[in-house]
Structure 1
Amino acid sequence: MNNRKVTRARYRFVALDVSKYRLLFIALLVGLGTGLLSSLFRLILARLATFRTTFQIGEIDQGWQDWLWPMLFTFFGIWFSIFLVKKYAPETAGSGIQEIEGALDGLRPIRWRKVLPVKFIASLFSLSSGLLLGREGPTVQIGANVGKMADDIFKQPVEEDNPLISAGAASGLASAFNAPFAGIIFVIEEMNGHFKFNFYSVAALMIGAGSADMVVRLLVGGGPILKTTIFTFEELSGIWLFVLLGLVLSVVGIMFNKFLIKSLDLFKKLKVSYITIALCMAFIITAVGLYSEDMIGAGYTTISHVYNSSFTLKFLLALFVVRFILSILSYGSGVPGGIFTPLITLGIILGMLFGGIAQYFFPDLVPDPAIFGVAGMAGIFASTIRAPLTGLALSVEMTANYELILPLIFTAVTASVCTTMLGNTPIYATLLKRALQTEKF
């Protein structure tokens, strides 16, 4: 009798292990699928990025061509993107990360049959139009929907929804920035109230993020996304400057979050047609872009120019203010797109501005202002998203500045703690609450 009980228990354990191994195998498929879609997304987006400013229109005079084609291209991209979102899948507007958090709590549906094509196509148009939006929001939502698709196809138990959707989200962030560790940390930290934490779910995250990053490196390319100087940090007497930068960024984070919500409310209250919104945004983006291309777009080119060009402090301040306003308006317009990249760009600009001022007053403590640019990435992420570990991981993986972990910790912790004490709610929690109150489909 006792032998029978032992045998039954052994069979149960074997069955349990088999089901968990099956989960990990499906997580691998989710990572590979997300990496493939993200690679295709990035490759197409890279082609479209130059199309806006290089297309020639017949024999039109160059003066007209400078603004007419970018205006038309931007207008159509914004209009078509909003049209797809409003008509077929409203949950694809904006980043989509709040939708994933709601889905993990069972508060929002995941309609992957509609979301995958709409998010993919609409995001290509919105991101290539010159709006200040990032590719990470679309890839995270696409990855999570791939996770739900795999869950439905393989008919997984209901309790397996969470790790597969989470693995897809981690894969999406990893494949957007070549940052698998940040993808894992983001789900654990930012989605900690939604993610069901256990050994196998964490293993699924790691497998998904790692396999997605592997596919992207094979198809798109490896290495850090941002090509910057590799710094060392040995002068501990200047650590207080990173704390001070964190204080500044905590205030910036509060302002960004509040104005972002106000922008969404403003566009909703206007009750104007898609054409009007697209026309107004196209005019603004084109006019600003004609003055300086660094003031529009996701920010990768801007970051490169900020690091490699000798911009004056006055221009850096103007660049920060303009990009701050346009980032908020871009997201508020209702097109799909993420806020990570625009935020990172703002953090780098503000960090460089802070570093330039600090170098003027404390030249012995600041050998290179660019070191504060890297710290600004982590700090602004910590103050807006309230995810300091993710900000730290992203900053290090995107720049390969592993020796800056110590000062980045001081900046990120200061920014997140101070912004919390000042009452700043994490932006995705606010966006989810708003979506639950105002959007039904």
Structure 2
Amino acid sequence: MVSLAQVLWKIPLAFFGMLAGASIGREGPSVQVGAAVMLAWGDFWKRRGLQLRGFHANELIAAGAAGGLAAAFNAPLAGVIFAIEELGRGTVLRWQRLVLIGVLAAGFLVVAVQGNNPYFGTFGGAALAHGMLWWVLICAALNGALGGIFARLLGKGPAAMAPASWRAWIRAHPIWTAFAMGVALALIGLATAGSVYGTGYGAAADLLSGETQHALPAGFGLAKLAATVASYWAGIPGGIFTPALTTGAGIGHHIWELAGEGVDQRVLVLVSMAAFLAAATQAPLTASVVVMEMTGSQPMLFWLLVGSLLASGVSRQFCPQPFYHLAAGRFRRQAIVEAGRAARAGTSAP
């Protein structure tokens, strides 16, 4: 999964996937390419008898992956938190200074090239004067439930979620499954005037600014969720961070529509973005810091943390295992099955 030759294909494949309208983000390939580059760099020196002191495979992969996330979102601190909270979960990582320096270096290089500009622009809202806690609880509960369902759908895959009589056919015909998911994505796009295609950056940025230039269709948040699931099930390489943030923004907009004009839309959208991402990944610290850095909303960090922690707890009721570890388990099982087939083919050969 972190072979440099293999992951370099992710870049053009993700590009063409986004060009075709898939609901994917660029952070997934960035994370994987970063991990592969760092691992290849370590192997390069190891083959020449100059193994990097204090760096083992786990540390190199973690530093590269977190650096990829920091570069994708122009969020150095989020990269560090991602490495500690998500990549360090279930593995033994020795967090020496060199690992953190490597993560920060990637983020600060992006800042030097692109400037210290938040990905979504600077957030202009402020905490609500009355009832802020209640709105955070509502956003956390709803996004936690939907984010948990979202993570479960992605982690289990189409075969596991289909009726039992269809599962063997789906596993045996991945191309036709991808075709069916593409048709489903196209139909969702037609029903929503194309608003679910791509990362959804424009829609999320408009909702955060409180000035939606183009009216979003009814049920945009749920439609974006379905489009992302269809894109993932089709096997298109891409990340889920940005689509998850856009889905959360859409859900926050729906909550605001029910709440009425007396509540600042921007606040509900911001909290919902962090809450849905936390529910999808079960990494509340990463979700809070990612949203804070991407929106320049440092004064709202406390409420982002509250919403993310609560949403992550709700999500576990629907998907007990974190999505990335659930997906990793699927990849490991698939690799074992393929290795077994290769071994049987080798023994049966004359």
For this structure pair, what is the TM-score category when the shorter chain's length is used for normalisation?
Answer: 0.7 to 0.9
Structure 2 partner of 1:224: 118
Moved more, 405-414 or 225-234: 225-234
Q: Would you say 1:375 and 2:271 are equivalent positions?
A: yes
Q: Scaled by the length of structure 1, what TM-score is found? A: 0.67
- Aligned equivalents of 2:248 and 2:227: distance in 1? 15
State the AA in 2 paired with 1:390: T
- Choose the corresponding residue for 2:3, options 104, 111, 116: 111
Structure 1 188/195 Cα, relative in aligned 2: closer, same or farther at 3 Å?
Answer: farther
Q: Would you say 1:146 and 2:41 are equivalent positions?
A: no
CA apart distance, 1:423: 5.2
Deviations 1:392-440 (A, max 9, x none): 0011000001111122122111111222355532111111111111234
Contact 2:275 2:311 in 1 (8 A): yes
- Choose the corresponding residue for 2:212, options 290, 301, 309: 309
Contact 2:274 2:288 in 1 (8 A): yes
Q: Would you say 1:356 and 2:260 are equivalent positions?
A: no
Deviations 1:265-292 (A, max 9, x none): 2698434464883586168438725952
Q: Which runs of 5 or more residues in structure 1 are unaligned?
A: 1-90, 92-109
Structure 1 153/268 Cα, relative in aligned 2: closer, same or farther at 3 Å?
Answer: farther
- Choose the corresponding residue for 2:193, options 287, 292, 302: 292
Alignment of 1:37-436 (within 5 A): 91=1, 110-112=2-4, 114-155=5-46, 156=51, 160-200=56-96, 203-233=97-127, 235=129, 237-265=131-159, 269-270=169-170, 271-272=172-173, 274=175, 277-278=178-179, 281=182, 284-285=185-186, 288=189, 292-307=193-208, 308-309=211-212, 315=216, 317-360=218-261, 363=262, 366=263, 368-421=264-317, 424-436=320-332
Structure 1 263/147 Cα, relative in aligned 2: closer, same or farther at 3 Å?
Answer: same
User: % of aligned pairs identical?
Assistant: 27
Q: Structure 1 or 2: larger helix share? A: 1
- Aligned equivalents of 1:317 and 1:228: distance in 2? 27
SS of corresponding position for 1:229 = coil
Structure 1 partner of 2:343: none
Structure 1 281/117 Cα, relative in aligned 2: closer, same or farther at 3 Å?
Answer: same
Contact 2:118 2:296 in 1 (8 A): yes
**How many residues are matched?**
323
Contact 1:294 1:301 in 2 (8 A): no
Q: Which runs of 5 or more residues in structure 2 are unaligned?
A: 340-350
Deviations 1:325-364 (A, max 9, x none): 111010011121111111111011111221232235xx2x
Deviations 1:160-192 (A, max 9, x none): 222111110110000110011111101111123
- Aligned equivalents of 1:250 and 1:296: distance in 2? 23
What CA RMSD, in Å, does the superposition of the two structures yield over aligned residues?
A: 2.7
Q: Scaled by the length of structure 2, what TM-score is found? A: 0.83
Contact 2:32 2:68 in 1 (8 A): yes
